[in-house]
Amino acid sequence: MLAMENSEDEVEADETEWKQDLKDSPFVVSGSLNLLKTTTPAHRVILHFDLDCFYAQVEMLRNPALRDVPLGIQQKYIIVTCNYVARQQGVAKLMSVTDAKDKCPQLVLVKGEDLTHYREMSYQVTDLLLSFCPLVERLGFDENYVDITEMIARRLARTPQANLSFKGHVYNTASADADAKASSHPELALGSHVAAELREAIHSRLGLTGCAGIAANKLLAKLVSGTFKPNQQTTLLPESVDDIMGALSGLRKIPGVGHQTAKRLQALGLVSVQDLQLFPPTDLVREFGAPAATRLKNLSLGVDDSPVTPTGAPQSLSDEDSFKKMSSAKEVMEKIEQLLSSLIERMRKDGRQPHTFRLTIRKYSATNKWHSRESRQCPIPNHVGQKISSASSDDAVVQLVSVAMKLFSKMVDTHAAFHLTLINVCFSNLQTRGPSASGRGSITSFFVHGSSPKTHRRLLIGWQRTGCR
Ligand code: TTP
Ligand code: MG
């Protein structure tokens, strides 16, 4: 019998694999809100890449006949994305299938619940960027940050200043005026050329188009990258920071300000970005504490010192499914078994051995849908862990289903009525298994070649992405 670790109070944020919210920045606060100390270079050049209609592009690559037709990617009864042909006809991301068909009766639908191909392509893009620069951070499936500060310093040393120009758009600047500004912002001007080269590499080697933002920090690069879509890029100059922050339609549009934070800000009477900019720092500290208050204040002003943190192989692998209602132990067990089968297959391809198993559920709650995830975890004994990463994975499924059901019974009284809307299974504490497995478990080995026959389902309804689009 396995020991169960109690994590009664653990309430998880949305862990959906293809998207991750921005992490908190490691600000160093010294006494007052205005004293932000930083060790980062004064002129950073950060690129943000966001692929165009990502799932739709992957499907169009797999089947070129889809390229010129309006295409929607369907998960359950939602269009999670659609190509730009469909967008021109009024279809939008997260529209219901019914509404999308009303807007565009010729819409071709492809099921997008199996994430295998999207995941593979996503890691190929990151790998390609990594081959140019070591500082690449993934943000979900189709976004990457790249810190090219050092590359730019080297290029700058050998570029005559008189030859500087911008590639692509410059935010709030007419193209006739942009190049005159290049000599005042040589790092960003060169950064725009590097962004264009990387976009071209992604296109020529992988066949994908995307947008890029070029700015002095991650926040601004992300905000500016979607200014012109699709397949375009935009540079943000320091003199336009106030404009871009002022143009945001609300606090939730600031990457890093999540639903909960926005609610707390709203309770303080803050709705617009300008409200937050002008709010007395001491009052903000009282509500959030100094580090979070500093971060919020800085974000509202377009200041973001957070580093681009290279993404290694994932720290955990998980799979989940959501549904309207699950209310019997039998259904729960079948769902867990299904999820575990596909997860174990992925784990086996990864090559590392997981040492912790976590089960997460979401109980139905009409009033508190943001806080309704609960989880329990336990160590995985070595003999089961070894089966996961070896050929005898069927045994592992059986043993882990039993473990999962024990964890489940710690959260749900199966003798009383219950109503679940999500189940997530997760392996973490992943360790390389000795010399023969060396080299696996790296980000590149995570590019799973060949498609898995298993399906990976996600339901993304009711979810709003953090960020500004
Ligand atoms: P996005 O970058 O938001 O969208 P996109 O790449 O499809 O389109 P855009 O050109 O506007 O950038 O999301 C990336 C992928 O994530 C998207 O192709 C499908 C998936 N996705 C979901 O699964 N659920 C969601 O709610 C959203 C918004 C996206
Ligand atoms: Mg995208």
The 10s digit of each residue's pLDDT in 62-103 is 999 999 999 999 999 999 999 999 999 999 999 999 999 999
Residue 18: pLDDT band by 50, 70, 90 thresholds?
low
Q: Quick one: how far is CA 202 from the chain centroid?
A: 19
Indicate which ligand has the atom closest to the C-alpha of 118. Answer: 1
Mean pLDDT of 371-376: 82
Would the pLDDT of 465 be above 90?
Answer: no
- The owner of tokens 């299938």 is 97
Concatenating the DSSP letter of every residue in 105-125 gives TT-EEEE----HHHHHHHHHH
Nearest to 251 by CA among 227, 225, 284: 284
Number of Cβ within 10 Å of residue 405's Cβ equals 16
Residue 450: pLDDT band by 50, 70, 90 thresholds?
very low
- Digit-coded pLDDT (tens) for 303-360: 999 999 998 777 889 998 989 899 999 999 999 999 999 999 889 888 899 999 999 9
Mean pLDDT of 276-281: 96
Would the pLDDT of 28 be above 70?
Answer: no
* CA 462 – ligand 1 centroid, Å: 14
Mean pLDDT of 46-62: 98
Q: What is the number of the ligand 1 atom nearest to the C-alpha of 51?
A: 6
Would the pLDDT of 6 be above 50?
Answer: no
Residue 132: pLDDT band by 50, 70, 90 thresholds?
very high
C-alpha–C-alpha distance, residues 132 and 151, integer Å: 9
Catalytic residues: 143
* Beta-sheet pairing, 136-139 with 169-170: unpaired
Provide the pLDDT for residue 293: 96
Helix (H, G, I), strand (E, B) or coil at 8: coil
* CA 244 – ligand 2 centroid, Å: 20
The β-bridge partners of 428 are 316, 356
C-alpha–C-alpha distance, residues 235 and 106, integer Å: 37
Tokens matching residue 414? 């199966």
Tokens matching residue 395? 């045994």
Mean pLDDT of 111-121: 93
C-alpha–C-alpha distance, residues 347 and 115, integer Å: 15
Provide the pLDDT for residue 19: 64
Concatenating the DSSP letter of every residue in 400-416 gives HHHHHHHHHHHH--TTS
Number of Cβ within 10 Å of residue 289's Cβ equals 11
* CA 237 – ligand 2 centroid, Å: 23
C-alpha–C-alpha distance, residues 175 and 183, integer Å: 15
- Nearest-CA residue for atom 29 of ligand 1: 80
Q: CA angle 121-130-161, nearest 5°?
A: 125
Provide the pLDDT for residue 32: 43
Q: Do residues 46 and 147 lie in contact, with contact meaning Cβ atoms separated by under 8 Å?
A: yes
Q: Do residues 408 and 375 lie in contact, with contact meaning Cβ atoms separated by under 8 Å?
A: no
Q: What are phi and psi of 23, to 5 degrees?
A: -80, 165
Q: Do residues 400 and 2 lie in contact, with contact meaning Cβ atoms separated by under 8 Å?
A: no
The β-bridge partners of 29 are 36
User: Residue 450 contacts by C-beta under 8 Å, 6 or more apart in sequence?
Assistant: none
Indicate which ligand has the atom closest to the C-alpha of 230. Answer: 1
Provide the pLDDT for residue 34: 46
Mean pLDDT of 30-53: 70
Q: Do residues 2 and 381 lie in contact, with contact meaning Cβ atoms separated by under 8 Å?
A: yes
Name all residues whose Cβ lies below 6 A of ligand 1: 18, 50-55, 80-81, 93-94, 141-142, 229-230, 460, 463, 465
Q: What is the number of the ligand 1 atom nearest to the C-alpha of 57?
A: 18
Would the pLDDT of 284 be above 60?
Answer: yes
Would the pLDDT of 202 be above 80?
Answer: yes
Mean pLDDT of 242-263: 95
Return the amino acid letter for 146: V
Provide the pLDDT for residue 88: 97
Provide the pLDDT for residue 41: 62
The model carries a pTM of: 0.76
Q: What is the number of the ligand 1 atom nearest to the C-alpha of 229?
A: 10
C-alpha–C-alpha distance, residues 245 and 256, integer Å: 14
Q: Do residues 343 and 454 lie in contact, with contact meaning Cβ atoms separated by under 8 Å?
A: no
* CA 140 – ligand 1 centroid, Å: 10
